[in-house]
Chains A and B, each alone.
Chain A
Amino acid sequence: MEQSIDVSALEPPEPLEHILDALADLPTGDWLRVRHRRDPVPLYRMLQDMGYRWDTTCLAPEHFEILIWPADMPQPGGAGALDPDRP
């Protein structure tokens, strides 16, 4: 099931704090959709180390959506193949 959070009005590094807190509370089999105003670059290395995959879409200037799911499960929604450059 999808969980979602909006961190677009938070100042750095609060979005990171909130996303990591949300991932810690994520039930098994669920995934997280994040709305952010920037591409949360420092997050990605952490996600990689924590065993998650992600897919970021820029929907508009200052409107990014990041889909995060555990690496051992397929991409939620089956929306396309994973970027081969992604872990």
Chain B
Amino acid sequence: MNLGGLSPDKAPPVEAPLTLFYLMPFFLGLAGLALAWQGDQVLASRWAPAALATTHFLVLGALAPVMCGALLQMAPVLLGTPYPRVRLVARLTAAGLGLGGVLIGGGFLFTRPGLLLSGGFVAIAGLLVFLAGSYRALRVASGRRETLWAVRLAALALAVTIALGLTLAMVRYGWLELPQHLRWIDMHVAWGLAGWIGLLLAGVGMEIIPLFYITPAFAVRLKRLLPLALSALLLLVFGLPGFAASLSQSLWQGLVAALFVVHLLYNANALYVEQRRQRPRRDANLWLWQFSHLAVFAAFFAWVVDVSNSLVGILLLGGALSFVVGSLMKILPFLTWLDLQQRRVAGGHMQVSLPRLRALLPEGLANAVALTLGAAMIATLCGAMVPYLTIPGGILLMACAALLAYALARAAMIRRRVIAQFALPGRCSGGV
């Protein structure tokens, strides 16, 4: 069945994305712990072990699983192509990212090269499974061309980020030598942040923002330009180590400025269409999404005035986190409800009434997640001026992780309870 460019019957079982979503609170908690424990080091330098550990907890453990899970769910529906063996892909990716994220974070935090390298291989193995599935799915996809290219190029950026990360790990422990080592780190960061994270969030954002907030559609020109412009700029980044150090630095600044401009264009458009939404009411998700758009502007400003690289990093990572947590809180009740509704109809259990959407993720709980995440980010940013504020920043991030874990567990329990009701003949009560 392929209707209106969408293929709902190709959507994977809901357990596949949920397996990956469950990793996020655990790694948010670990990042909060690292921040509360060694927060002053996190902000002192982006090369500090605690900073590298926190970054990888967030990027590999919190962001990547949700982004991969969302792709497993959305690419088949939006682009009309299912992932092969989707449950297996989800489990192996989750296992690789979960174990690899812990080992890499631990390796950085306790300066254990063995942990770092073994974690790197485990995480890469998990991500390669995901990339292999993505390749098979996206190669034959034909729906929504602009989104398809954004997703394809984001997956390619992930592969490049992984390759660069592995290379850097080998350089760090003397197994490989590279000229202009720092430039290679910049390349890893650029491909990861602007390519994998930025391009995927923008590509998916241009679909889900109009969908969930009844906004005007994003301009087709922007949808086409964004993946092309980002890819071209990221390819140019590869040429940097070939130039002399001083010239390479100037070119790097120019490319970073251009990457920022492309992302600012998307974020400005996102703010514009969100202000023109048909549903005027604001909810926690919209606050988080708008917080993420503004964080990119703030990061650009911080980069222009050359405050500190750590501050720019916190703003960009915090912005990405904000968008992904906001998206998760939209997708979680939606997927849970849709799964229950489809089971109810397919099984002929129309006598069982389903919980309303708001019962699956109460507004108060969503607000609490958004508030703690926003407060954690603000406290951490203030830590750049008053270092001890990173401690409450870390504690707030742990609180956010606990609330998110509760939200996920609560939705899972309600779902299980309703499914159990389907098995009981003649039951008419609601799910909660």
Contacts and interface: CB of A to CB of B under 8 A. Distances in A.
Contact of B334 (A12, A44, A50, A56): A12
Contact of B6 (A20, A39, A50): A39
Given A13-B357, A14-B357, A41 B4 contact: yes
Nearest to B279: A11
Given A9-B278, A45-B1, A24 B8 contact: no
A9 to B, nearest CB: 5
Contacts of B3: 39, 41, 44, 56
A46 interface: yes
Contacts of B211: 11-12, 38
Interface in A32-65: 37-39, 41-42, 44-46, 49-50, 56, 62
B363 interface: no
A16 interface: yes
A14 B7 CA distance: 20
Going nearest first, the 5 A-B pairs with the smallest beta carbon separation are A39-B4, A41-B6, A46-B345, A42-B8, A49-B345
Contacts of B334: 12-13
Interface of A: 8-14, 16-17, 20, 24, 37-39, 41-42, 44-46, 49-50, 56, 62
B341 interface: yes
Given A11-B212, A13-B334, A49 B346 contact: yes
Contacts of A37: 214
Nearest to B4: A39
Contacts, number: 60
B212 A12 contact: yes
B250 interface: no
B350 interface: yes
Contacts of B177: none
A49 B212 CA distance: 26
B79 to A, nearest CB: 13
B1 A44 contact: yes
B149 interface: no
B337 interface: yes
Chain B interface size, under 10 / 10 to 19 / 20 to 34 / 35 or more:
20 to 34
A65 B129 CA distance: 42
Given A13-B337, A13-B338, A45 B213 contact: no
Contacts of B356: 17
Contacts of A45: 1, 8-9, 342, 345
Contacts of A44: 1, 3, 8
B315 to A, nearest CB: 29
B7 to A, nearest CB: 8
B5 to A, nearest CB: 8
Given A9-B279, A41-B4, 18 more contacts: A8-B214, A9-B278, A10-B214, A11-B211, A11-B212, A11-B279, A12-B334, A13-B334, A13-B337, A17-B357, A20-B341, A24-B350, A38-B211, A41-B3, A46-B341, A49-B345, A50-B345, A56-B4
Contact of B213 (A11, A13, A17, A24): A11
B204 to A, nearest CB: 15
A24 B352 CA distance: 12
Interface in B279-327: 279
Nearest to B334: A13
A69 to B, nearest CB: 17
Nearest to A9: B278
Contacts of A50: 345, 350
A82 B406 CA distance: 48
A48 to B, nearest CB: 9
Interface string B191-222: 00000000000000000000111100100000
A42 B279 CA distance: 22
A46 to B, nearest CB: 4
Interface string B339-380: 001100110101000001100000000000000000000000
Contacts of A39: 3-6
A8 to B, nearest CB: 8
Contacts of A49: 345-346, 348
Contacts of A8: 214
Nearest to B354: A17
A11 B212 CA distance: 5
